[in-house]
Amino acid sequence: MDVYDYKELWPILLLGVAFFVVTVVVLFWSARKGHLRNFDAQAKTIFTEEEPEGEVSDTFPESRKLSRSRKDRK
Amino acid sequence: MSDTSQLISPSSNPYSSEHASVRAELSEIDASIRTASVFFVVSAIGWLMIGTVFALMAAFKAHQPDFLGAYDFLTFGRVRSAHLNAMALGWGNNIIFAVGLWIMARLCRSPIQHKGLLLIAGVFWNIGLTVGIVGILRGDMTSVEWLEIPQYATPMLVVAYALIAVWGIMAFRFRKGEHVYVSQWYILAGLFWFPWLYVVAQAVIIWFPARGVVQSVANWWFAHNVLGLWLTPMALATAYYLIPKVLGRPIYSYYLSVLGFWALAIFYNWAGVHHLIGGPIPVWLISAGIVASIMMVIPVIVVAINHHMTVVGLHREVWRSPTLRFIVFGAISYTLVSLIGSTMALRSVSEVTHFTHFTIGHAHHGVYAFFTMIMFGGVYYMMPRLLKREWPSAGLIKLHFWGCALGITVMVVALQTGGWIQGMEMNNPEIPFLEVVQNTIPWLKARSVSGIFLTVGHIAFAVNFFWMLFAAGAVRAKQEPTLLTREGGVA
């Protein structure tokens, strides 16, 4: 590929660089906003009163029957 | 893991705020997005079934070329392209719009606004896609892999997508609280990345075509990134939300999850060029792609460790959950397919796998075993909460899981084993090409058998879904829902 043809790749390369720059800028923004601190606390924010931590919230119907009958026996 | 001294303050955490104006109930959010999500799931299942029919046709034609050979609109090239676009843009995008936007709304703690706009955009997306698929079958498709939709159908797709993505971004913009969970990062990034990829690829290849070599670079930059920067973030967002949610246990290391996201965001964009190893483009460009592909091992291992450590000790709960059966299968597949993909990017390996069925097996490993299985899991969790109904048949869920799990495993093993043998034989000049082709036939027949397994799974899924949707009275009569239940009642 000669020098002239080489320039044909510039749009793709510039897009790649732009993509990279945008990513780094957003990473910087998230750090400034404090999203890279208090990781353990952030992991718990998906739990609510309706769907609390410590409770399995999805089972096959027969699995639930089985676990209940075990509880009843105890 | 817990450190109460570092907990987010209740005032800034909308999940536990004492103020009703700040705290939005999940059930309220679910109700607000119900119509749009159900529409997208119905559309997704429709395209899944259509794509499955095209897939079976293409699979049988691969070892029996005269099958349906009398109809020009059912020739292999058209049917195969119709299958790809029906699955990627029909099933894939619609299910992302359903599950991804639902998760985004929940994490933003904000009931959706302008739901009619979202619905209209969805209708236009599916009309545009229908026009595109019919165009492919009519013979109007482009010759560019992953961008076969005819030029006249793409503007409608772009406009419809823009409306849907803007809705997702607006939900994020007006979220309650400052916190951004890792799933939101993935979804938000995916909503930006996909239009960037699609519009740039359309512009450089279709609307204002650059020279051939640049087109090929743009083509594989787009095609590879559709998987890595669109389907992957959405599937990982779903896994990162639902694995801890179902188990009631926070993700093992939130730090690792954030690290994984940023590593994906920074490295993946460069990786697609490895599809052109040996092609007429600058060697350094390919080398950059190979380096990026190997660097992808970092986020993949990070995700694998995080998911594994989150479920460790709770494997029985995983097996008992319809949602997690699919999601954990998908998460394991993500690790495998990504490590295999990084290996395929090496020049010495690509010499064998390039131009063989190994690549087809790899694509299905990623799009189906990873992405699609996780999205199935997402639907199993989401629908009972949207409709306030249980899934009518646990048997159909199991049939769905086993049909899909066995089917995709057989397909990937058959295509990658057969593909590797095919590549070794093609590199041996003493073996005639026709003999190489004939030797692939048993593996292609195995692929067709795997397609039958997958079809059975898809039919079970569709029957269960529409039974749940339309036979409301019969479904409500059940007593043990696959809904979250604290004291046995429906949430």
pLDDT at B482: 55
pLDDT tens-digit map of B309-329 = 999 999 999 999 999 999 999
Between B100 and A68, name the one with better pLDDT.
Answer: B100
| Cross-chain Cβ contact B15/A63 below 8 Å | no
Q: Give the CATH number, domain containing residue B424.
A: 1.20.210.10
| Cross-chain Cβ contact A44/B179 below 8 Å | no
Instruction: Give dist(CA B294, CA B432) in Å, integer.
Output: 34
Between B216 and A70, name the one with better pLDDT.
Answer: B216
Contact B171, B112 (CB under 8 A): yes
B46 & B155 share domain: yes
CA of B306: which chain A residue's CA is closest? A43
Distance (Å) from the alpha carbon of B199 to chain A's nearest alpha carbon: 12
pLDDT tens track of chain A, all 74 residues?
A: 454 556 666 776 787 788 788 888 988 888 888 888 878 788 888 888 778 888 888 888 665 555 555 555 55
Integer angstrom CA distances of residue B76 from B52, B56, B72, B394: 14, 11, 9, 37
B333 & B408 share domain: yes
pLDDT at A31: 86
Residue B163 lies in a domain: yes
B337-340: list long-range contacts, CB under 8 Å, 24+ apart: B337/B362, B337/B365, B337/B366, B337/B369, B337/B370, B338/B296, B338/B297, B338/B300, B338/B366, B339/B297, B339/B300, B340/B365, B340/B416
B396 & B259 share domain: yes
Instruction: Give dist(CA B180, CA A26) in Å, integer.
Output: 13
pLDDT at B6: 36
Between B236 and B392, name the one with better pLDDT.
Answer: B236
Residue B216 lies in a domain: no
pLDDT at B16: 46
Lowest mean per-residue pLDDT among B5-14, B247-256, B296-305, B475-484: B5-14
Instruction: Give dist(CA B417, CA B423) in Å, integer.
Output: 10
Instruction: Give dist(CA B468, CA B354) in Å, integer.
Output: 44
pLDDT band at B7 (very low <50, low <70, confident <90, very high): very low
| Cross-chain Cβ contact B26/A56 below 8 Å | no
Range of the domain at B326: 232-491
Range of the domain at A64: 3-73
Q: Does A20 touch chain B (CB under 8 A)?
A: yes
pLDDT at B404: 98
| Cross-chain Cβ contact A19/B196 below 8 Å | yes
pLDDT band at B87 (very low <50, low <70, confident <90, very high): very high
| Cross-chain Cβ contact A46/B1 below 8 Å | no
| Cross-chain Cβ contact A58/B270 below 8 Å | no
Q: Does A57 touch chain B (CB under 8 A)?
A: yes
Residue B5 lies in a domain: no
Residues of A in contact with B250 (CB under 8 A): 40, 43-44, 46-47, 53
pLDDT at B2: 37
Distance (Å) from the alpha carbon of A44 to chain B's nearest alpha carbon: 6
Opening angle at CA B259, ends B257 and B264, nearest 5: 95
pLDDT at A58: 87
DSSP state at residue A50? S
CA of A27: which chain B residue's CA is closest? B262
B172 & B241 share domain: no
Residues of B in contact with A27 (CB under 8 A): 262, 265
pLDDT at B57: 97
pLDDT above 90 (res B236)? yes
Residues of A in contact with B478 (CB under 8 A): 61
Q: Report the pLDDT averaged over residues B215-225.
A: 91
Contact B422, B358 (CB under 8 A): yes
pLDDT band at B402 (very low <50, low <70, confident <90, very high): very high
Residue B191 lies in a domain: no
- Give the per-residue SS3 of chain B: CCCHHHCCCCCCCCCCCCCCCCCCCHHHHHHHHHHHHHHHHHHHHHHHHHHHHHHHHHHHHHHCCCCCCCCHHHCHHHHHHHHHHHHHHHHHHHHHHHHHHHHHHHHHCCCCCCHHHHHHHHHHHHHHHHHHHHHHHHCCCCCCCCCCCCHHHHHHHHHHHHHHHHHHHHHHHCCCCCCCCHHHHHHHHHHHHHHHHHHHHHHHHHHCCCCHHHHHHHHHHHHHHHHHHHHHHHHHHHHHHHHHHHHCCCCCCHHHHHHHHHHHHHHHHHHHHHHHCCCCCCHHHHHHHHHHHHHCHHHHHHHHHHHHHHHCCCHHHHHHCHHHHHHHHHHHHHHHHHHHHHHHCCHHHHHHHCCCHHHHHHHHHHHHHHHHHHHHHHHHHHHHHHHCCCCCCHHHHHHHHHHHHHHHHHHHHHHHHHHHHHHHHHCCCCCCHHHHHHHCHHHHHHHHHHHHHHHHHHHHHHHHHHHHHHCHHHHHCCCCCCCCCCCCCCC
Q: What tokens appear for B336 in the block?
A: 């495998």
Q: Helix axis angle, B232-247 relative to B101-108, nearest 10°?
A: 60
Residue B328 lies in a domain: yes
3-class SS of residue A38: coil
Of B134, B164, B179, the residue at which a domain comes to its end is B179
Minimal Cβ distance to B484: which of A5, A39, A51? A51
Instruction: Give dist(CA B482, CA B148) in Å, integer.
Output: 40
Integer angstrom CA distances of residue B435 from B64, B87, B417: 16, 32, 17
Per-residue buried b or exposed e for B105-129, using 16+ beta carbons within 10 Å of the residue's own CB: bbbbbbbbeebeebeebbebbbebb
| Cross-chain Cβ contact B394/A62 below 8 Å | yes
Minimal Cβ distance to B324: which of A6, A58, A68? A58
Residues of B in contact with A36 (CB under 8 A): 258
pLDDT at B334: 96
Instruction: Give dist(CA B426, CA A45) in Å, integer.
Output: 54
B318 & B379 share domain: yes
Residues of A in contact with B322 (CB under 8 A): 58, 60
How many structural domains is chain B composed of? 2
B295 & B378 share domain: yes
B137 & B270 share domain: no
Residues of B in contact with A2 (CB under 8 A): none
Q: Report the pLDDT averaged over residues B251-256.
A: 92
Q: Give the CATH number, domain containing residue B135.
A: 1.20.120
Between A7 and B290, name the one with better pLDDT.
Answer: B290
Instruction: Give dist(CA B219, CA A67) in Å, integer.
Output: 53
For residues A32, A36, A39, A43, the Cα torsion angle rounded to the nearest 10 degrees is 90
CA of B189: which chain A residue's CA is closest? A23
pLDDT tens-digit map of B123-157 = 999 999 999 999 999 999 999 999 999 999 999 99
Instruction: Give dist(CA B384, CA B323) in Å, integer.
Output: 11
Of B136, B164, B179, the residue at which a domain comes to its end is B179
Instruction: Give dist(CA B288, CA B74) in Å, integer.
Output: 40
Q: Report the pLDDT averaged over residues B98-103.
A: 95
Residues of A in contact with B323 (CB under 8 A): 58
Residues of A in contact with B25 (CB under 8 A): 50
Residue B213 lies in a domain: no
How many structural domains is chain A composed of? 1
| Cross-chain Cβ contact B179/A8 below 8 Å | no
pLDDT at B473: 65
Residues of B in contact with A16 (CB under 8 A): 221, 269-270
pLDDT at B40: 97
| Cross-chain Cβ contact A58/B484 below 8 Å | yes
Q: Report the pLDDT averaged over residues B268-276.
A: 88
Of B118, B149, B179, the residue at which a domain comes to its end is B179
pLDDT tens-digit map of B429-452 = 999 999 999 999 999 999 999 999
pLDDT band at B117 (very low <50, low <70, confident <90, very high): confident
Instruction: Give dist(CA B486, CA B491) in Å, integer.
Output: 8
| Cross-chain Cβ contact A57/B484 below 8 Å | yes
CB atoms within 10 A of CB B322: 26
Q: Report the pLDDT averaged over residues B173-180.
A: 81
pLDDT at A74: 53
| Cross-chain Cβ contact A58/B323 below 8 Å | yes
Q: Please state the pTM of the whole predicted model.
A: 0.89
Integer angstrom CA distances of residue A41 from A36, B7, B179, B256, B294: 11, 5, 10, 14, 32
